[in-house]
Amino acid sequence: MKRFLAYVTMAAVLLIFSAGCRRIPLYDRSTRVDIIIDLDRELDHDIVMSVDKPLEKIYTDKIEGVVPAHYEVLVYDTVTDELVSSNIVGEKGGSLSIFPGTYHLVIYSFGTESTQQKDLHNRNTANAFTTDITVSKGEVIKSKINEPASDPVSKGYEDDPIINEPDHLYASNEMDVNIDAFTGGEQTVTIHTTVSSILDVYSLEVLNIKGPENIDKVEAFVTGQILSNYIGRPERDSSPATLYVDMSVDVENSRLYTVFNTFGKLPGEQNQIFLDITVTDSGGGQYRYVFDVTDQFDDPGNEDHQLIIDGEMVDIPKAEHGGGGFSPEIDEWEREDIDVPLT
């Protein structure tokens, strides 16, 4: 009788547990396949300037960026595009283990200073973006580029977010990678991939300026850029942004110059791109100039991504009594709206 009651009790317990549990498939660890990621990095940013002069380290670092120490390998389902697994590999690649099947692989570098990643849970939303400028600095800059609608300098970009330059993120996509199951022997598959930067690099020069020796600082804003870039698919984002860029002064050659990184030009034939610069003289006075550089951005022959502007209208006089130019609290900004011919 006691044995019979024990069987009944055990059956009841099993019934309760089976009602509250779901069936989970069990995988045999031996069915996983070892994947070797063999990784190369493509370097293809050659910068051309009109003046044959060595660039400062701040600019040479922008051209190729730092050598990534690690990459993340994102494995996505080919039907849902949802993330299946992620693994970290080294500079030249590494290994991971995965169940047989067909997958999309996205490999990208991380550890960048400005460029960040988000929405990696789905291949279609995996995105690289950069930080906005600080709120306090942003308010000051907004006051510089915000113009009344009647002002001819107002070009409709005053409300776009202002972002810092991104730094290089290297990525590659390997689509529909088929990982076959092995019935015996060594279970290893090698995948060769080449990562390249998702950024565009441009050189920018404003030539023939007057009074370069009187300039203390130059801030530049490149409008008509995109806010971020996808890393899991070839399409680019369509959200507008204005890029904040520091420029240098070359007194000897009477020019302003810089090298800048961007996620790319905002797509669309109607998109106009302006270089909006604010020059601060040695006494704190400020001068503003706006140049239309749309044609140079859109020129298919401009493979070197070289932007050259004739800045003969830029004339910075010597500051008097520590306060040259003008003060924004007293006078209006001095502006020049200049159409720049394609060079």
SS3 60: helix
Task: Locate 209 and state its tokens.
Answer: 């300026």
pLDDT at 27: 44
**Sheet of strand 228-230: strand arrangement:** 116-118, 127-129, 228-230
DSSP 233-273: SSPBP--EEEEEEEEEEETTTTEEEEEEEES-BPSSTT---
pLDDT at 21 over 50: no
Higher pLDDT, 182 or 112: 112
**Residue 316 CA from chain centroid, whole number:** 34
pLDDT digits over 105-157, tens only? Answer: 999 998 888 999 999 999 999 999 998 875 445 455 555 555 443 344 445 66
**pLDDT confidence band for 8 (50 / 70 / 90):** very low
pLDDT digits over 272-298, tens only? Answer: 899 999 999 999 999 999 999 999 999
pLDDT at 316: 95
Strand-pairing partners, residue 240, are 226
Closest CA to 211 of 316, 322, 314: 316
Mean pLDDT of 196-217: 95
pLDDT at 16 over 60: no
Of 6-20, 220-234, 284-298, 300-314, the range with the lowest mean pLDDT is 6-20
Of 148-157, 159-168, 231-240, the range with the lowest mean pLDDT is 148-157
Q: Please, are residues 76 and 99 in contact by the beta-carbon 8 Å criterion? A: no
User: In whole angstroms, what is the distance from residue 95 CA to residue 178 CA?
Assistant: 16
pLDDT at 111: 85
Averaged confidence pLDDT in the chain? 81
User: In whole angstroms, what is the distance from residue 319 CA to residue 197 CA?
Assistant: 43
pLDDT at 186: 63
